[in-house]
Amino acid sequence: MMVPGQGILKGLAETARNFFGSYVSPERLVTVQYPEERLASKEAARNFPFLVFDGDDWQQGLRCVACQICEKECPPKCITIIKDTVRKPDYVGKLQFQPQRFDIDISVCMSCQICVEVCPFDAIKMDTEFELSTADRFDQLRLRKHQLAKSNHYYQRIHPVESAEVDGRLGAEKAKAEAKARK
């Protein structure tokens, strides 16, 4: 036979346990005081895409060869690429096209990572930067090539495991190309 109100008291005891427990047990107090406290970014975390460049000069080192695959495959069509007529050498020294213009409208982008998956040149990767508020919701949310270009060191910092795999693959290709050139 249950005493009336017993269930309510049982529930209140649970609430009290959680309340007082939050002073001693970190498991019961999980709130992070953003922006003073921040959680570490995860390896797989993704927000918006950026363009990777090698070396110090972002225009010379840009990996993108303006093949426009990502532009075609992007589901919400947020990427705009215009091919440049001037070519530049890529990381193995082969002459390749380059984008004259590469815009990503991040108000349209849905962070699906499909551009990264289809890129055969490892030129576009996902960023983890999320504090992107601007005063203008049209032009400043359309990121231009110079805003998108970020160095390989930055990529290695935000995605250590993934970039090690990419660097290993690209390094092997470069060594193969150099060995072929020497012959």
148: closest CA among 95, 106, 86, 177? 106
129: closest CA among 38, 7, 5, 53? 38
> Which of 10/180 has CB closer to another protein?
10
From 7, 89, 168, 171, residue interacting with another protein (rule: CB under 8 A) = 7
Distance CA 122, CA 29 (A): 41
Binding to another protein in span 121-140, by CB under 8 A? 126
From 46, 88, 142, 174, residue interacting with another protein (rule: CB under 8 A) = 46
Per CB under 8 A, 166 contacts another protein: no
End-to-end CA distance of the chain: 92
E-state strands within the chain? 49-53, 79-83, 88-89, 95-96, 99-105, 124-126, 142-143, 149-151
Min CB(39)–another protein separation in Å: 9
How many binding residues for another protein (CB under 8 A)?
Answer: 30
Per CB under 8 A, 5 contacts another protein: yes
From 110, 132, 164, 172, residue interacting with another protein (rule: CB under 8 A) = 110
DSSP assignment letter at 3: P
Min CB(42)–another protein separation in Å: 5
From 87, 111, 130, 146, residue interacting with another protein (rule: CB under 8 A) = 111
Per CB under 8 A, 177 contacts another protein: no
> Which of 69/177 has CB closer to another protein?
69
DSSP assignment letter at 16: H
Which region holds residue 38: left if phi is over 0, alpha if psi is between -120 and 50, else beta?
beta
Helix (H, G, I), strand (E, B) or coil at 26: helix
Count CA atoms within 13 Å of residue 156 on its CB side: 9
Per CB under 8 A, 118 contacts another protein: yes
> Which of 1/86 has CB closer to another protein?
1
Query: What are the residues binding another protein (CB under 8 A)?
Result: 2, 4-8, 10-11, 14-15, 17-18, 30, 42-46, 69, 73, 75, 110-114, 117-118, 126, 161
